[in-house]
A and B are shown apart, each in its own frame.
Chain A
Amino acid sequence: MFKNEFYKIVAKKYIWIFVLVLAVFYVFILTDTKDNFGVVYSDALQPVFEEINEAAYTPEIREYIIKNGYDIKIDDIEHFLSPKIAATVDIYKGSTYHGYDVAKTLWEEGVKNRIVNLVKRNVTRENIINQLRADSDNPLNRYLLKQYSNMPKIEANLTRWDDWIDTNKTLLPGMIAFVIILSISGVYSNEYANKMHGILLTSKKGRKEVFWSKFAVSILFSVSCVIAFQLLNAGILTWMYGIPFTDTPLNSLSLFYKMPTTLTAQQMYIMQLAGSMVGAMVLTAVVLCISSFCRENILSFFISCLYFGCGFILSNTLEGGYLSSLITLPGEVSTFSLMSLVDVLGSGKVLVVSDTVVPTVLITIAVQLCIMVVAIALTYFFYTRKEISR
C-alpha cells in the first residue's frame, strides 16, 4: 500500500514538468548575476580577511573614519593597513573586467567599503547599547542589552553567507511549498474525483491504514522535495561562490547587523534547513487536511495556496525590526516564516508578554506544531468518518 500511494504521487507527469520548470527558472535567476564583478571576484579578498578585520578594529583607522563622517579615501588609511592587503590587491593590477579596473575596484569597494562598514556597524552597536543603558529599566531593554552585549565581534562581510541565507528567505520556501501543494493537494480529494473513495474506505485495509499510508508517503515526498531543492540550491551556490571559507557571526551580514542576534551564519543556515524541513511537514499536514474535505483537486490546491500565500504575504509585508506585536504575529507564526526563519530567528525577534520576553521563533515553532497536530487529527476525522453516499 505504501508503495502504491507513493507511486500515485510521483506518477503524475505534470508534477515533474512543474519541478523541471521551477528548477530551470531557479538556476536562471540565480546564475543571472554570475558575470557581476562582485561574484567573479568574490574570493579575491578572502586571503586578507583577517587583515581587513584587524584594520577596522585599529584605533587610528577607526577614529579617522569616524572623524571624517565615514567618507574617506583609501589612500588616507592605506599606510595603516597590512602590506598583505596591498600585495593581494596588486595581483589584479592592470586587469580590467567589463570596464572596471579590477585592482581599483577591489581597493575602493572591497577593502575600503568593508572597513568603513565594519566601523559603522560597530559604532551603531555601541550606540544601541548606550541608548539601552540610558533608557529605563524594563524586561525588553534588559533582554536587548544582554543580546547586544553578548554579540560576537562583527566581521567583514566577505564570506558570501548572505547568498546562502537569502535564497532560503523567500524564493526557496516559495518553490518548495508550490511543489508540495501541487503534489499533495490531490492525495485525498483525488479519491473523490476518481470515485475511488468508496472502494478504499470499505476495503479490508481501509480507513486507518489508508490514512496512515497516505500521510507517511506525503511526508516522505515533502522531505524528499526539500532535500532535492536544498541540494540544488547548495549546488548552484557552491558552483558560483564556492563553499563559504569560514563561519561568521550573523551580525556581520548586511541583513542582520542591527538585529539582536548572537547566532553565527552557519548556525542560521542549519536552522533554516531544519525549519525548511519541519515547515514542509507542517504544510504537508495542512494540505492533506484541506484535501480530505475537498472533493475537487483544484479547490484543495486553491485553499492550500491561500493558506501558504497569506502567511507569505503577511510575513513579507510586516517584516523588519526585532519587536513582535499582535499585528505582526500572524505573519511571524506562519508556515512560511518557519520555512524561512530570516525574519523571526535571524532578526532575533521577541514578543513581550506582560513582563516576559519570549523569542518569537519559539512561538512560531509552537504554533506550527499545534497546527500540524490539529491538521493531522482533522484529516483523520474527515477521512475516516466520511460517509459513502454512493
Chain B
Amino acid sequence: MSTSKGNIGYTTVAVLKNLAINRWTGIILLLYGVFTSAVCFSDTFRERHIEIIDGNIVITLTNKYLPFFMMAAILIVISPLFAGDKKIRMDELGDTCRNGKEHWKKAKIFAALLYTVSGVTVGFIIPIMMSSISQTPIYFKSMVFESANPDIKLSTAQFYLFSFAMILIGMLFLALLTSLISSKTDESLIPFASVGLFFGIEAVLFSFRTPYYLWEINIFRLLKPYWFLFPSNPPFCPAHRAIIIVTTIFVVISCFVIWMLFGATVKREA
C-alpha cells in the first residue's frame, strides 16, 4: 500500500496490524473457536456445561460468552497501546517521527476501535458459521423469546443485528476506556486492572440487581442484549425506552472519553 505523507489511514493500518499480530489475539480467537466448536458439535459438552438461551446456540454464544472473550482481548491487547510504548520509551522514537504525537495517537485510537469492530464481527461470524456447518438449524425468520413475553418482538435475524449493535457499542466503550487509562499511565497493568475491576463491579451489580438503577444502567445490558427483551420497571419500560436510555448513556460517555483522548495531550517529563 502506497500513500502520501501524513495519511492517518496508513498509520492506523500499521498500528492495527500490530494489534492483530499480537499473539494474544490469536490465542483468544483460537480459544473462542474451540469453545464455539465444542458447543456446536458436542452434544455432551452443550448439555453439561451450557445453558442455551431461547434454544438458539448463536444467541447463547454471542450474548453470553462472546463479551468475555472480547473483554479478555481488549484488556490484554489494548492496555499496552499507550502505556506499553511509554514504559519501553518507544514513545520517544515515535513522537520524533513526522506522523508521531497527535497523528500517532489518533491512529492508535482508530486502530483500537477498528480492532474492536473486527473482533465483534468475527465473534458473530464464527458461531453463525459453526452453527451452519454443524447443521444446527437457524430459523432467521422465526421470532425470538416468544415464551418470555417480551416487550418488543424481533425475528432471529433482527435480533442478531440488534445484538451485534448493542455488543459493539458496549465493547467500543470498554476499548475507549482502556485506551484512555492507558494514555494516562506508563504501566500497562493499570488500564488492565482498572477496566477489569470496572467489568467485575458491573458484573456484581448486574447479578445482585441492587440498586436497581445500576442494574439497568449497566454495561452488561449492552453486552447481554437479550435482557432488553424482558420487561423492566419504570422508567426503563417499555423495552425500547430502556434501549434508548442505556445506549444513549454509554454513547455519551464514550464521546466524552473520545474527547478526553483527543483533547488531552500527554507530555512525558524526562
Contacts and interface: CB of A to CB of B under 8 A. Distances in A.
Contact of B196 (A33, A299, A305, A317): A305
B188 A29 contact: no
Given A33-B210, A298-B189, A302-B192, A178 B48 contact: no
Interface in B52-86: 72, 75-76, 79-80, 84
Nearest to A21: B197
A22 B211 contact: no
Contact of A298 (B76, B200, B201, B204): B76
Contacts of B114: none
Contact of B197 (A18, A29, A193, A327): A18
A171 B211 contact: no
B193 interface: yes
Contacts of B48: 327
Contacts of B190: 14
A174 B188 contact: no
A298 B48 CA distance: 33
A297 interface: yes
Contacts, number: 50
Contacts of B49: 317
B197 A297 contact: no
A191 interface: no
Contact of A171 (B196, B204, B210): B204
Contacts of B210: 29, 32-33
Interface string A285-313: 00000000000111101100100000000
A152 B76 CA distance: 51
Given A21-B197, A178-B200, A327-B48, A301 B205 contact: no
Nearest to A171: B204
Contacts of B200: 174, 178
B189 A185 contact: yes
B145 to A, nearest CB: 22
A305 B87 CA distance: 22
Contact of A29 (B80, B84, B208): B208
Nearest to B75: A302
A7 interface: no
B187 interface: yes
Contacts of B84: 298
Interface string B170-181: 000000000000
Given A14-B193, A33-B210, 9 more contacts: A18-B197, A22-B197, A29-B205, A171-B204, A178-B197, A193-B87, A297-B187, A297-B188, A317-B49
Interface of B: 48-49, 72, 75-76, 79-80, 84, 87, 187-190, 192-194, 196-197, 200-201, 204-205, 208, 210-211
13 contacts: A14-B187, A14-B189, A14-B190, A21-B197, A29-B208, A33-B210, A171-B204, A174-B200, A186-B189, A193-B87, A301-B193, A302-B72, A327-B48
3 residue pairs, one from A and one from B, having the closest CB atoms: A298-B188, A297-B189, A298-B189
